[in-house]
Structure 1
Amino acid sequence: MHYFERAGESRFRASRHTQGAWSPDEQHIAPSLGLLAHIVEQDRDRRRDDRLPLTRLSYDILGTVPVTEVDVSVRVLRPGRSIELVEATMTHGGRPVLVLRAWLMQRFPTAHLAGSALSPIPGVDEMPTWDMSAAWPGGFIASAEVRRLAPAPGRSTAWVRTGVGLVAGEAASPAARAIGLLDIANGLAVRAEPSAVAFPNIDLTAHLFAEPRGEWLGFDTSVSFGPDGLGLTHSIIHDETGPIGSSAQMLTVRPTTV
């Protein structure tokens, strides 16, 4: 099983596992975030041999994406020996639908300095299994295994993993696979019933101070709605070693009944 298969040098065909939660005819954007990270890493490895990690990822979602073929392109905006800025774009029918700007940064030996004041979350085995498909439809949600604690509307801690590969026949890094799960955060801490309020995100920005390791990705998530149709989903991101970064998603909050 896989989210995409390569249909050409820069073209990819989405599988049913990318099917979205807001509409079955549209992709959940999460796998596409992972795909663009994967493409950036492949481009990096063709150009250089030092495997700079992706540290800041800023995605702009320019439109909905049907479950069909998409094209991708990559360009280096700011080349550098130790730090570079790379842009990746996904298009459908000649129209840009998703843009990633990623900062890649050189490693330095700082294990003796490592630490964070961010709070850990309960481990995978300390959280109950949650059938996310009971709350959200779509092939992507069905492809995810979720453990979750949700003490209040708009708050949750969760662990997520998937057994679905990113691209058929291609080895994706743990980082790219983890990045392909980040967008699930907006559905982990539901503040209002999706049948009454639509709250899709228009972007996702992640800052990672450590590369994700392991198959589980952890989320400490809060969802906030403002009084004028704006919202924010914010998560501290974890792997099984502890906190490794953060992500934020700007929401457009639209009641279906007024």
Structure 2
Amino acid sequence: MSTGTDHVPSRHERSYYQRIDDRRYKPTPHTGGAWDPDEQHFSPLGGLITHAIERDRDDRGSALAISRLSFDILGKLALDECDIRVEVIRPGRTIELVEAVAEIGGRTAVRARAWLLAPGDTTSVAGGDAAPLTPPGELERWRMSELWSGGYISSLDARPVSSPQPGRAAVWIASDSDLVVGEAVGPCASFVTHVDAANGIAVRRPPNEWMFPNVDLTIHLHRTPEPGWTGLDTTVTFGPDGRGITSTVLHDTRGHVGHAQQILTVRPL
């Protein structure tokens, strides 16, 4: 029961970013990284870059659907203002390639490319979906902050389908934090805001003993995801020479929506 003096977080306090101008955003502590809270976790930044791509597409009056996103993470992501520029690399009426560059502290931090494809009615030939996950409303909450630190992880509502095992887990992720304070966000950006968390749900080794950050994230979508919960059905593989792969079958509450891959650099702390 409220005493009348309970603090109710403002929208700014519940957001990952605040817009500074047309291209520049300021991160909040909710973006804090899992290994270093003074860095940004890539998940919200990936969502922010996708938001910039969606806004650019909508401003141009395009109806093409984001179908592949590839992010190259070029170094540590300082908890500092970021500037995002979007450019159409390959224009077209039915196929388009867009590039987005995020700069932090005066250097390029992330390069992203997105293929946008024309939508159409292919209901009569649709098929090949993975089996659906147990709905999140039927599952108990998992406190990921007991395994990971950082503002981003603590902002999440995580619901495992079953108890996570080393290298294998299926988990629903959601958050009540806005991506950008006061802004409507498209379905793809909302969904992508949680995808990079896949590397933290099926850890093969304790993160206080080993590091296994990803240097990229590639997402393929065979339909536009619905906003809300992001389902991550994840398998993690460590190779024998310092590399690993996190592979994820992506779901929304309607079912299978695509796939994601992350290449890892694996090393002891």
TM over 0.5: yes
* Residues 117-136 of structure 1: pairs in structure 2 closer than 5 A: 117-136=129-148
* Residues 12-51 of structure 1: pairs in structure 2 closer than 5 A: 12-50=25-63
Shift of 1:61: 0.1
3-state SS, counterpart of residue 150 of structure 1: coil
Q: Which of 191, 206, 229 is equivalent to 1:178?
A: 191
Q: Distance in 2 between matches of 1:117 and 1:236?
A: 10
Identify the residue that residue 243 of structure 1 maps to in structure 2.
256
Shift of 1:24: 1.1
Q: Distance in 2 between matches of 1:24 and 1:124?
A: 28
3-state SS, counterpart of residue 67 of structure 1: coil
1:140 and 2:152 correspond: yes
Shift of 1:59: 0.3
What are structure 2's unaligned runs of at least 5 residues? 1-13
- Aligned pairs, number: 255
Identity of aligned residues (%): 45
Residue-by-residue CA offset, 1:206-248 (whole Å, 9 max, x unaligned): 0000111141111110001000110000000001111110000
Of 241-250 and 211-220, deviating more is 211-220
Identify the residue that residue 206 of structure 1 maps to in structure 2.
219
Shift of 1:9: 1.8
Identify the residue that residue 93 of structure 1 maps to in structure 2.
105
User: Superposition RMSD on alpha carbons, in Å?
Assistant: 1.1
Of 150-159 and 239-248, deviating more is 150-159
Q: Which of 104, 115, 132 is equivalent to 1:103?
A: 115
TM-score (norm 1): 0.96
Identify the residue that residue 178 of structure 2 maps to in structure 1.
165
* Residues 227-238 of structure 1: pairs in structure 2 closer than 5 A: 227-238=240-251
Shift of 1:121: 2.1
TM-score (norm 2): 0.92
3-state SS, counterpart of residue 49 of structure 2: helix
Contact 1:82 1:105 in 2 (8 A): yes
Q: Distance in 2 between matches of 1:10 and 1:125?
A: 37
3-state SS, counterpart of residue 202 of structure 2: coil
Shift of 1:53: 1.4
Contact 1:127 1:158 in 2 (8 A): no
Shift of 1:151: 5.1
Of 110-119 and 218-227, deviating more is 110-119
Q: Distance in 1 between matches of 2:101 and 2:150?
A: 24
Shift of 1:49: 4.2
Q: Distance in 2 between matches of 1:150 and 1:144?
A: 17
Q: Distance in 2 between matches of 1:128 and 1:150?
A: 10
